[in-house]
A and B are shown apart, each in its own frame.
Chain A
Amino acid sequence: MKSKLTDLKTAVEQIPSGSSIALGGSILRRQPMAFVREMIRQGKKDLTILGYPCGLATDMLSGVGAVKRVESVYTGLFQFGMSYNFRRGVENGEIEIRDFSETAQCNRFRAAAMGVSFLPTKSLLGTDMARLNPDQVKEIVCPFTGEKYHAVPAAYSDFTVIHAHTADEYGNVQWPDHRDADDLDHLLAKASTRLFVTVEKIVPHHEIIYNSNKTFIPHNLVEAVIEVPFGAHPAPCDEYYDEDIEHLEYYQKCSKEPGRWLSEYAQKFIYEPKNHLEYLNRALTPERIVKISVK
């Protein structure tokens, strides 16, 4: 095993504009937000986002016009409402969108993980996700039973980025005893071509090896691992910190008005801080840390 430790700037430099990128987390939880902010600072453009539901990350990238296409199951901010930047992008015709149901998108990542080019699904039969996406949803018939299915293509991506709890320097990524795994991170990792993982904490290798049953992404899948405390902020990281309600409400207040998010929120929290630590200095006060920390 070799060390995969790197820093955000170096990892993000690997990703050229125009890449397809699968982003982990779900709904709001444990999205790689620090990684996304660094992508925006480095001016990545024309991205294709493959998601299960990675709403906040997609919305942020949409807000700076970095997104060309989204293939996902949901783009919204759960109890904080719609993802307005993304929504405007689609409504303006700037973002190309392909919607998949959860089981269909799951099968797409499963195909990529298995190394096959497609899998069948019945969940899109009769839907407009199928009718309006003939390039990616094709009718097939089971050669054994004659049943109708759609074939959906493997969700291969150039890069996959996941935010997780802990890892060692080799990229053995572990989850805690209690976690919320309402996501496809485990599958996304298996489906990845080049996988970058940010974690709340890098731990010594010996802490991993006596609990290897907690390793849900093994080192051989990982290209780079980066320690990024509060790396999902303002989204929550289960067992570390809750959603930052005040921050997300401010985010939504800005993003509801066209232009305001870019001129106000993005300046304050993405462009002016030169790196993640400067972001934390700006976004988190000791009081705020106490408030969102999980006790």
Chain B
Amino acid sequence: MSGELPLSPEDVAEIVAILDGGAYERLEIRTTRFTLRIARDGGGWTQQWDWAEPEAKAAVAETAAAAAAVPEGLTAVHPPLPGTFYRAPQPGAPPFVEIGDAVGPDTVVAIIETMKLMNPVHAGAAGRVEAIMVDNAEAVEAGAVLMTIRPA
């Protein structure tokens, strides 16, 4: 976090207007804080900014948490998308399911909130809820195991 904004949108438009009058195809401005690439792309121009600091670059390579091992004989319930896991339709409402409840493949067992949209999570198999691995309102990745089902 630091001081000046490097170039305003008007500055970029002006640079493009200058380039557009000539034979240039691309321009790269590299500073310690950012890289800006302006390129002719078909009929138009694009601006591409790279603000990544070394630490942030490393973060790009972050590994997705390995999915927890699922004991043999059980079926895992995964979220349809990464997001926030909710056990009940609304705060204060009873949970969709409890451990030991019987479920069918289409039974809604939880909700995943992704980008403010509520996505139902289906059991995916008929059986009984064996375990619930994630706490209510916890953030989960796409490969996470939310629950396990012991098939009937």
A and B form one complex: no
Q: List the interface of chain A (C-beta within 8 A of B).
A: none
